[in-house]
A and B are shown apart, each in its own frame.
Chain A
């Protein structure tokens, strides 16, 4: 289980950090393996910040990140590296997700080498995963600007799946994609969660996507988690007035 316990994060800007922005306030959330948890809220509510904290791309100002029982919050980088492989993050903007100077293949092989997969096995692994994520192998010699957003997201997934992660943080993975490409990728993520028992934190502002994907949902507003419950309950009988408002707006 990936647990976020009473996470807060403040950003300081301006002269001597006098402007304090509370991005996340006392947020607790847990993701079991094999479960897809939706995190929803408007732009600027802190959901992406919380996602980044979950994989320690950002350090929380206070609170704890607990991965399968181990508190990794203040763990030194070297020791943490093993844990990092188990939780991977995928970002919203496909065009900035990969190094523009690398071909898709170079980016993918970079991660294979990081994992320490012997060269002899790399080709086989690439074929397996690319079939799983539906990445056409005739385009892997291209650079990110020569392929579509959906194809980049598939290359990103190839990299990420190679780590055999237990948890995935998905930060608006399909909001820049066409609806039919989105459907492909969402189906594939859903299958992955159940097949390989991967816990996913699915961050999105698109309630339709969340409803179709998630087992549980948490709503965030101005840095706080307002409500948290099964997707069915949240969509049929939301308790917070904010969730009701979100549902009305998306109708």
Chain B
């Protein structure tokens, strides 16, 4: 949590203007990531975790109103010119996007798409790029990289597409990998393979894994739990999962089938992002008058922060 980390995010907020009013997708996010550190961000659909990933890479549409600061290697991402930005995306920071099967261009072969990225990032050219693409496909566990290289995306299953996407993202040797729901919809064996692969290929890089799967999150060193656009609990993964301090974190853990499948009461509402006071209070059994004041994310132990006045 030193100031000079790889990625320093301060007070990052993103709002979208919709017909029904402004939705504060993420609100006042502070995040630090050191070199070679892995961080999992978990939360339900709509909590803003993917928006956070995209905001870090400045990939959001112009309709998004972004405030706050994202500093990568001490350079402000939101002040970069086009050249610096192109160098950042796909060079220094790689994104493994959600929905693997629709992330590739359907009319270009897998190999060409990987080569294109390698060339754009200025790593290799021509035959060198091809060699590197094949090398990363085989690192990604394909026994016949040539065959995958010349295949069109529709010929690959969901799990294979995910592996090819990881190969592509890692082929440029980025310093930070942002993996968005890498295990969604995969069976147990594929999930295990994908997680192993991500950690193996990204061993010299830092990683932010965005997921709703607590099992996947367990493979990262640190964990941040998001609710309604805010981080509600953050700390070393083992400690947070074994001794959760926020009611929402507890709820997520107990909702897992292996832990009794207890649903969290109420439902998550996009517009609760704008609510006064604690955003979780409607769904919380411990809610009291105190919860009408918006709680701060405060340190409760060394390395652990919780946003709850009862924690």
Q: Please report A residues at the B interface, Cβ cutoff 8 Å.
A: 42-44, 92, 136, 148-149, 175-176, 178-184, 186-187, 205-209, 211-213, 246, 249-250
Contacts and interface: CB of A to CB of B under 8 A. Distances in A.
Contacts of B258: 208, 211-212
B212 A179 contact: yes
Interface stretch (B9-17, B65-73, B249-257, B288-296): B249-257
B48 interface: no
A207 B256 CA distance: 12
Contacts of B159: 43
A104 B214 CA distance: 31
Contacts of A43: 157-159, 186-187, 190
A178 B45 contact: yes
B184 A176 contact: yes
B147 interface: no
A147 to B, nearest CB: 11
B308 to A, nearest CB: 18
Given A183-B261, A183-B263, A212-B258, A178 B187 contact: no
A209 B267 CA distance: 21
B46 interface: yes
Interface of B: 44-46, 157-159, 184-190, 192, 212-214, 251-252, 255-258, 261-264, 267
B-side binding surface: helix, strand, loop or mixed?
A: loop
B45 A180 contact: no
A181 B255 CA distance: 8
A212 B257 contact: yes
Name the residue in A176, A182, A183, A208 with the highest tally of chain B Cβ atoms < 10 Å from its Cβ. Answer: A183
Contacts of A182: 255, 257
Contact of B44 (A180, A186, A209): A180
Contact of A211 (B44, B185, B257, B263): B257
Contacts of B190: 42-43
A187 B261 contact: yes
